[in-house]
Amino acid sequence: MDKAINGMLCSTFLLTLGMISGCNLSKKEEPFQVDTTKYLHSIGYIDPSEARLNKGFKVCDEERINQYYNPKEATYSKGKNGLRNFILQNYKNEGYQDSGYLTIRFVINCEGQAGRYVIHENNLELVPTKLNPKMVAQLFDLTTQLKRWNPNIIFDKPSDSYMFLTYRIEDGEIMEILP
């Protein structure tokens, strides 16, 4: 009998708690106010006015540039191995001693053309730093020579999308190319 009473009390308590919680959840309060004048773009936005090699580069839909999360479609035309082979065959370590991550972000438009490049430099602990400018320039130049990209396909339609290449560098040597 004690178990039945305890079960009934527990059920009543949970039901009451649920009703109280439900009342609180039904309020239409916004816990965080979003400043729509401050955040005009998505998190990965590349500002055309600050991007490199943007002159003459056109996207198909300025209002909808998708993220790179669809790697099956938004890829280099010669595949990951073709990309890696091109970079590694053409990169020359000219005495660089730097270690870190060099990330080059850009847009692939719906026609498979790349543009709007930005560069991010970090040390191996992912703290922003400055890497050897000649090494950065060489890798940027090689990256921009990758001309033929496959556009991202969204709902069976070629679409603009963001892309990035990150070079993991140790003592001036490329250890890995991501993604």
pLDDT 10s digits, 45-57: 676 767 777 788 8
pLDDT value of position 65: 85
pLDDT digits (tens, 9 = 90+) for 17-54: 454 445 444 455 667 776 666 555 555 667 676 777 77
- What integer is the mean pLDDT of 85-96? 97
pLDDT value of position 38: 59
pLDDT value of position 56: 81
- Higher pLDDT, residue 30 or 134: 134
Residue 56: how many other CB atoms lie within 10 Å: 7
With 70 as the cut, is the pLDDT of residue 177 above it?
yes
pLDDT value of position 143: 97
pLDDT value of position 70: 56
- Burial state string for 93-105 with b = 16 or more CB within 10 A and e = fewer than 16: eeebebbbbbbbb
- What integer is the mean pLDDT of 133-156? 93
pLDDT value of position 154: 85
